[in-house]
C-alpha cells in the first residue's frame, strides 16, 4: 500500500541534485596576463569578457544557466598559463577555457585543452602554429586575426610608400614575432618586389634595453621599418628610440601590426607617441566617421562598465570570445565540449565591428583590423587612428 508513494519520494530525492546541477553556473576559466608589460592588453581583454558575461547573465544566461568567469593571472608565461589551465580544469571544474594573450601561451594551453577534451577559445594569439594543419584539434578556436592576415595588411600599407627601396624589421624573438615578419615579407614580395629587406632585429619578449637593436638597425639606414613590438615592449622601445633619432631617420615611416594603434597604447605613451607611424587596432574606439550603430552602443556601454573615460581597443576580442562561446553552447543545447565544438564550426555571430564566422576547416575567423596613420587630434590627449581602414579587404578562404 505504501510502495508507490515511497518510490515517488525516492525518485524526487534523486532528481533534486540533477535539477540543482542544471542551475549551476557555466564556468569559464580565463587565464590572461594581469601583471607585467602585457597587462596593458590583458586587463582590457578581460574587461570585455566580463562585460559580455554581465550582459548575457542579465538576459537570462545560457540554457537557463548563468555564466561564471574565473580569471587568473598568466603573467604572459606559457608555463604559468598551462599550470593555471590545468588547475582550472581539475580543481575549479570549469566547463570551458577562454583567454591567454601571447602566442607562447595559447599553443601551450591548446595542448592542455586537447588532452582534457575541453573547448578553448583564444581571443588574441596570432601565430599560425595555433591552428595550422599539424596542431589543430577539435577543441581549439581563434577569434583574433592570424599573422598571415596581419602580414598582408601590413604589407599593403608598406607598399603604399612609393619612395622607399629598403625596409628593416623588428619583432619579438618568439613564435608570433617570427610568424609576423615571415608573413609580412612574403606578402610584400608580391606587392613590391622592388623593396629589399636590409635588416632583421629580434629582441626577446619583455626586453628591457632596446639600445643595441636600435643602434644596429639605424646603421643599416633603412627607408622604412616594419615592427611587431607591442604592449610594454613597444612603449620601452619608443622611449629609447626617439631620443636617438630613430623615427626621424626613417621619417616616421614605420608600420606596426601589433595593435599599437589602440587607445590603450596611445594613452600609455601620451605625448611621447611617435605620431605619423601607421598602426592598427581590432577596434579603433575613436571612429570619426561612419561609425556603425552597434559599435557606438558598445563603446557607450563599455565606458560605463569599465568606469573609463576612454574605452579600450582590446576589449572587443574578449567580448567577442564570450559571445561566440555562448552562441555555440546555445546551438549545441548543452555544455559538453564535444557538442559545443561541433556547434562552433561554421558558426556566425554578430559583433560590434561586424559579423564573424568561425571556419569549419581552420577554427578561426577572418578578422581584419583597422589601420591608419596615428595623428594628433585636439579633441583627445593621445594619438588616434586617422580615418580607420579595415585591412585586408579579403583573404583566401581558410
Show me where the domains of the chain are located.
11-145+297-357, 148-288+369-391
Q: What is the pTM of this model?
A: 0.89
Peptide bond into 392 cis (omega under 30): yes
> How deeply is 57 buried, as exposed, middle or buried, from its count of CB atoms within 10 A (0-12, 13-18, 19+)?
middle
Domain 148-288+369-391 classification at class level? alpha beta
What is the distance between the alpha carbons of residues 248 and 385, in angstroms, rounded to a whole number? Answer: 20
Residues facing residue 120 across a β-bridge: 97, 140
Count Cα neighbours of 81 within 13 Å in the Cβ-side half-sphere.
29
Among 94-98, 386-390, 394-398, which stretch is predicted with the lowest mean pLDDT? Answer: 394-398
What is the distance between the alpha carbons of residues 289 and 397, in angstroms, rounded to a whole number? Answer: 30
197-218 average pLDDT score: 97
What is the distance between the alpha carbons of residues 46 and 63, in angstroms, rounded to a whole number? Answer: 23
Residue 197 reports pLDDT greater than 60 = yes
Residue 329 reports pLDDT greater than 70 = yes
Task: Tell me the Ramachandran region of residue 93: left when phi exceeds 0, alpha when psi lies from -120 to 50, beta otherwise.
Answer: left
- The position carrying cell 532528481 is 15
CB 200 within 8 A of CB 152: no
Residue 65 reports pLDDT greater than 80 = yes
What is the distance between the alpha carbons of residues 63 and 381, in angstroms, rounded to a whole number? Answer: 44
Percent over 90 (pLDDT), the chain: 89
Pull the grid cell for residue 154.
601590413
What is the distance between the alpha carbons of residues 138 and 132, in angstroms, rounded to a whole number? Answer: 12
CB 195 within 8 A of CB 188: yes
Pull the grid cell for residue 157.
600599407
* pLDDT value at residue 40: 86
Domains 11-145+297-357 and 148-288+369-391 share a fold: yes
Pull the grid cell for residue 15.
532528481
CB 365 within 8 A of CB 327: no
Residue 181 reports pLDDT greater than 90 = yes
CATH, domain range 11-145+297-357: 3.40.50.2300
190-216 average pLDDT score: 97
Chain mean pLDDT for the chain: 93
Amino acid at each position: 500500500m505504501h510502495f508507490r508513494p515511497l518510490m515517488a519520494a525516492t525518485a524526487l530525492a534523486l532528481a533534486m541534485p540533477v535539477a540543482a546541477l542544471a542551475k549551476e553556473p557555466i564556468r569559464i576559466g580565463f587565464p590572461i596576463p594581469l601583471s607585467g608589460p602585457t597587462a596593458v592588453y590583458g586587463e582590457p581583454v578581460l574587461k570585455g569578457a566580463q562585460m559580455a558575461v554581465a550582459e548575457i547573465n542579465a538576459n537570462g544566461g545560457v540554457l537557463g544557466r548563468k555564466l561564471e568567469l574565473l580569471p587568473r593571472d598568466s603573467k604572459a608565461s606559457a608555463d604559468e598559463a598551462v599550470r593555471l589551465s590545468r588547475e582550472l580544469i581539475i580543481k575549479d571544474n570549469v566547463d570551458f577555457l577562454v583567454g591567454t594573450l601571447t602566442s607562447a601561451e595559447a599553443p601551450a594551453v591548446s595542448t592542455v585543452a586537447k588532452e582534457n577534451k575541453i573547448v578553448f577559445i583564444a581571443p588574441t594569439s596570432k601565430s599560425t602554429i595555433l591552428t595550422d594543419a599539424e596542431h589543430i584539434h577539435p577543441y581549439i578556436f581563434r577569434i583574433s586575426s592570424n599573422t598571415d592576415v596581419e602580414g598582408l595588411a601590413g604589407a599593403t600599407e608598406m607598399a603604399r610608400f612609393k619612395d622607399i627601396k629598403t625596409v628593416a624589421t623588428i619583432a619579438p624573438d618568439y613564435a608570433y614575432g617570427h610568424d609576423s615578419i615571415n608573413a609580412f615579407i612574403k606578402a610584400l614580395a608580391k606587392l613590391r618586389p622592388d623593396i629589399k629587406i636590409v635588416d632583421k632585429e629580434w629582441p626577446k619578449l619583455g626586453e628591457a634595453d632596446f639600445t643595441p637593436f636600435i643602434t644596429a638597425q639605424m646603421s643599416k639606414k633603412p627607408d622604412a621599418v616594419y615592427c611587431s613590438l607591442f604592449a610594454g615592449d613597444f612603449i620601452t622601445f619608443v622611449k629609447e628610440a626617439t631620443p636617438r633619432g630613430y623615427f626621424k631617420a626613417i621619417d616616421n615611416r614605420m608600420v606596426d601590426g601589433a595593435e599599437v594603434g589602440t587607445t590603450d597604447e596611445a594613452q600609455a605613451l601620451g605625448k611621447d607617441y611617435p605620431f605619423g607611424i601607421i598602426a592598427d587596432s581590432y577596434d579603433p574606439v575613436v571612429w570619426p566617421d561612419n561609425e556603425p550603430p552597434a559599435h557606438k552602443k558598445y563603446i557607450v556601454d563599455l565606458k560605463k562598465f569599465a568606469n573609463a573615460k576612454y574605452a579600450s581597443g582590446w576589449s572587443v576580442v574578449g567580448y567577442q570570445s564570450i559571445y561566440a562561446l555562448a552562441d555555440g553552447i546555445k546551438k549545441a543545447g548543452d555544455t559538453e565540449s564535444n557538442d559545443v565544438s561541433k556547434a562552433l564550426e561554421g558558426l556566425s555571430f554578430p559583433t560590434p565591428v561586424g559579423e564573424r564566422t568561425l571556419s569549419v576547416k581552420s577554427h578561426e575567423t577572418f578578422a581584419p583590423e583597422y589601420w591608419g596613420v596615428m595623428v594628433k587630434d585636439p579633441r583627445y590627449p593621445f594619438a588616434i587612428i586617422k580615418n580607420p581602414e579595415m585591412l585586408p579587404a579579403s583573404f583566401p578562404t581558410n
